[in-house]
Structure 1
Amino acid sequence: MRNMVPAGLLIVRPKGDQADVFLDFVIPGYRDFRAGKFLFEESADYFQSQGIKRLVSEPGNPRHESYLRRMGFQLENGNYYRAVQPKNGVVTMKRMLLICAANPWEPSSLRGPATA
């Protein structure tokens, strides 16, 4: 989210200790790589907390491959891989809401603790 506008969406499919990137989309006006850096770098602690150590993406087209390389992915056996490198930082509420909104395997994480 930038300027209170949802700038993009990341959906991953966890498979053991890695996750396949199913959708990584940012609206055109925000394609300056800041959203990608946020998701792949600033959110690494969250991925690690879910047991994810590596992200995997198919190459797609040459423009997408260029983006993946710029985001730190490396080509290996026909796919692009990026190790999750946590910063062991504090996950702010803003970060958690953005990440959980794109988290298909734990939608209940947005609800918070149960109340009677």
Structure 2
Amino acid sequence: MVLLEAAGETAQVLLDYVTPRFRDFSPGEFVWRQSGLLADLGYRRVVTPPGMLSPYYDRVGFERDGDSWVLEVRP
């Protein structure tokens, strides 16, 4: 489950949850990289809240920016 808050072309991650059974990164890989949904919705950037617990974001294309993770969305 992913819940985002829109701020123009930036989406702020409010919730990113997967049940333990599916925590092999494939759901995140699909949502953040493969689906094209973020670009289709007009987002160019996704930002996580500071201090995310157990982050996997570096494995799906996000880069560290201070205490947050940022994904530049490809059109």
Higher fraction of helix: 1
Paired amino acid for 2:3: I
Q: Secondary structure at the match of 2:17?
A: strand
| Runs ≥4 residues deviating over 3 A | none
Aligned residues: 74
Q: CA deviation at 1:21?
A: 0.7
Aligned to 2:4: 12
SS of structure 2 residue aligned to 1:14: strand
Q: Do structure 1's residue 68 and structure 2's residue 57 form an aligned pair?
A: yes
Measure how far apart 1:78 and its partner are.
2.7
SS at match of 2:39: helix
What TM-score do the two structures reach when normalised by structure 1? 0.58
If each structure's strand is expressed as a fraction of its own residues, which one has the higher value? 2
- Look up the SS of the partner of 1:26 in the other structure: coil
RMSD value, Cα = 1.3
TM-score (norm. length: structure 2): 0.86
How many angstroms does 1:46 deviate by? 2.0
Q: Percent identity?
A: 30
CA distance in 2, matches of 1:19, 1:27: 23
Q: For residues 34 and 63 of structure 2, what CA distance do their matches in structure 1 show?
A: 19
> Does residue 53 of the first structure (1) align with residue 39 of the second (2)?
no
For the residues of structure 1 that align with 2:58 and 2:52, how far apart are their CA atoms?
12
Any residues of structure 2 matched to 1:37-116 within 5 Å, and which? 37-43=29-35, 45-58=36-49, 59-61=51-53, 63-64=54-55, 67-86=56-75
Between the aligned partners of 1:21 and 1:11, the Cα distance in structure 2 is 6
User: How many Å separate the matches in 2 of 1:11 and 1:50?
Assistant: 14
Greater relative CO (CA pairs within 8 A, separation 6+): 2
Q: Give the superposition deviation at 1:72.
A: 1.4
